[in-house]
Amino acid sequence: MEIHQYVALSFLFVGVLFFIAGAFGLLRFPDTYSRLHALTKADNIGLGFIILGIAIEMGDLSVFIKLVLVWVLIIFSSATSCYLIARAALRMDKNEQE
Amino acid sequence: MYVDYFDYVLALILIFLTWQMLRVKDLLTSIVLFIIFGMLIALAWMQLKAPDIALVEAVIGSALTGVLFLGALGYIESKSQVVYVEKKNVLITSRVYTISLTILTAFLGFILFLTMWKLPEQQVGLHHHAMSALPESGVKNPVTAVILNFRGYDTLLEIGVLLLVVIAVFALNATRLVIINTSLKRKSRILAAFLYLLSPLMVLVGFYMLWAGGHAPGGAFQAGAMLAGVGILMLMGGGSLPLSMKFRVMRFIYAIGFASFICVGILVGNETRHFLQYPPSLAKYLIFMIEIFATISIAATLVTLFAGCTGLLLAQEDHVVKVKGKSL
């Protein structure tokens, strides 16, 4: 294995670590809101590292641009769905308090 | 060799997920497990080197069906004012029934396992025949060639089933409702902004997947599911779509996929050719035309399914019923 494959492998490994951290946070945090924090932030950063690793392995510029576009779109959609889930959870909490 | 271990672990996870999905009493948990199960099945399809099927499974089998389940669950909970829905126990709880069912299932599993064990090492399927007939089929993607040319009859009946589904959805819901206009409670500015920015891109990707079906993984079902995603997000964000059988345009949109397929099938037949046997020179254009109409039909059907399952098609107190003219 050459040096750039080692670099790609380490990026992939770091990405997987972030995903594991996100899943751990999902299981261990006490509240819906903190779980949303763990899911969206950690998972998106993990995805960014995985995409970096794939891009270094592939070495093609057009593939890299497409993958970065995929990452940006996933960040958009996960942020939107995080907001919607938090809004629904807030509404449920308000209904329970009344 | 390591890839084999991954396949074994994946298979074990799938079996475990299925067991949990059926065992858990909370319906929300089993729906989420179902979505995860669908995604892992898509991964299994990728391991079997079938990207087209993996795409369809991930989008329609896992995501869309999961959304339908979740919408139905939310509708049930909102109607009956319970916080979570629990599964009732199985009606038949006798010991004889359980034991005989277990023995039968184990026997079936054992026979399937033996069959798989005895499969020949080399593939003796129709792969060679399909690839050798590929230049005559009019497309470069073998999956599209099989779906729309070699086995076009199957796809014709599948699209017919989708039309039946739309009729069934409207039969089970009130047909007085003409245009859905969801109340302000549902409207969300963030979702509206998200749609405003990204729905052109989603529509573009959908039509690109339709076009790319000729030479790469893609096709009518994937494109239709993508466009249905846009429609579903619009409904969730508080938009209004004219989903009703009362409009001539909507009836046309629902039926055009099936109708165009049948028309093409009938019109290509003459003294030397059968029903649905395209002339090789025209095959590419015929397939593309069928795919375009099928995409529109599939997208409209899936959005209507979502509206039906989520209770949006029923006239409720927080939906405003607006009656427009007789026809559009």
In chain B, pLDDT over 90 holds for what percent of residues?
Answer: 34
Chain A residues within an 8 Å CB radius of B188: 84, 87
Is the CB of residue A4 less than 8 Å away from at least one CB of chain B?
Answer: no
pLDDT band at B50 (very low <50, low <70, confident <90, very high): confident
- Which amino acid type is present at position A91? R
Q: How far is B188 from chain A (nearest CA, A)?
A: 8
Is the CB of residue B114 less than 8 Å away from at least one CB of chain A?
Answer: no
Is the CB of residue A77 less than 8 Å away from at least one CB of chain B?
Answer: yes
Q: How far is A92 from chain B (nearest CA, A)?
A: 10
pLDDT band at B176 (very low <50, low <70, confident <90, very high): very low
Mean pLDDT value across chain A: 90
pLDDT band at B203 (very low <50, low <70, confident <90, very high): very high
pLDDT band at B316 (very low <50, low <70, confident <90, very high): very low
Q: Which of the two residues, B61 and B183, has the higher pLDDT score?
A: B61
What's the pLDDT score for residue B317? 40
Report whether pLDDT(A21) > 90: yes
Summarize the confidence of residues B18-46 as an average pLDDT. 92
Summarize the confidence of residues B171-183 as an average pLDDT. 58
Q: Tell me whether residue B99 is exposed, middle or buried, using C-beta atoms within 10 angstroms of its C-beta: 0 to 12, 13 to 18, 19 or more.
A: exposed
**Cα–Cα distance, B140 to B146 (Å, whole number):** 11
Integer-rounded Cα Rg, in Å, for chain B is 23
The reply to whether residue B188 touches residue A87, judged by beta carbons under 8 angstroms, is yes
The reply to whether residue B198 touches residue A76, judged by beta carbons under 8 angstroms, is yes
Summarize the confidence of residues B154-180 as an average pLDDT. 80
Report whether pLDDT(B177) > 60: no
CB neighbours of A67 closer than 8 A, spacing ≥ 6?
A51, A54, A55
Mean pLDDT value across chain B: 82
Q: Tell me whether residue B313 is exposed, middle or buried, using C-beta atoms within 10 angstroms of its C-beta: 0 to 12, 13 to 18, 19 or more.
A: buried
For chain A, give the DSSP string: --HHHHHHHHHHHHHHHHHHHHHHHHHH-SSHHHHHHIIIIIHHHHHHHHHHHHHHHH--HHHHHHHHHHHHHHHHHHHHHHHHHHHHHHHHHHHHH-
Summarize the confidence of residues B35-62 as an average pLDDT. 92
Q: Which of A73, A77, A84 comes nearest B188 by C-beta?
A: A84
pLDDT band at A88 (very low <50, low <70, confident <90, very high): confident
**Minimum Cα–Cα distance from A93: chain B residue:** B83
Distances (CA, A) of A4 to A1, A14, B57, B64: 8, 15, 34, 39
In chain A, pLDDT over 90 holds for what percent of residues?
Answer: 65
Q: How far is A80 from chain B (nearest CA, A)?
A: 7
Report whether pLDDT(B214) > 90: no
Chain B residues within an 8 Å CB radius of A16: none
pLDDT band at B85 (very low <50, low <70, confident <90, very high): low
Q: Which of B190, B198, B201 comes nearest A83 by C-beta?
A: B190
pLDDT band at B137 (very low <50, low <70, confident <90, very high): confident
The reply to whether residue A83 touches residue B197, judged by beta carbons under 8 angstroms, is no
- Count of A–B CB contacts within 8 Å? 15
- Which amino acid type is present at position B321? V
What's the pLDDT score for residue B35? 96
**Cα–Cα distance, B305 to B299 (Å, whole number):** 10
Let me know: does B60 contact B226? Beta carbons within 8 Å: no
Is the CB of residue A73 less than 8 Å away from at least one CB of chain B?
Answer: yes
pLDDT band at B95 (very low <50, low <70, confident <90, very high): confident
Is the CB of residue B216 less than 8 Å away from at least one CB of chain A?
Answer: no
Chain B residues within an 8 Å CB radius of A83: 190
**Cα–Cα distance, B202 to B226 (Å, whole number):** 7
The reply to whether residue A84 touches residue B191, judged by beta carbons under 8 angstroms, is yes
Q: Which of the two residues, B36 and B2, has the higher pLDDT score?
A: B36
Q: Write the pLDDT tens digit of every residue in B273-287.
A: 788 888 888 888 888
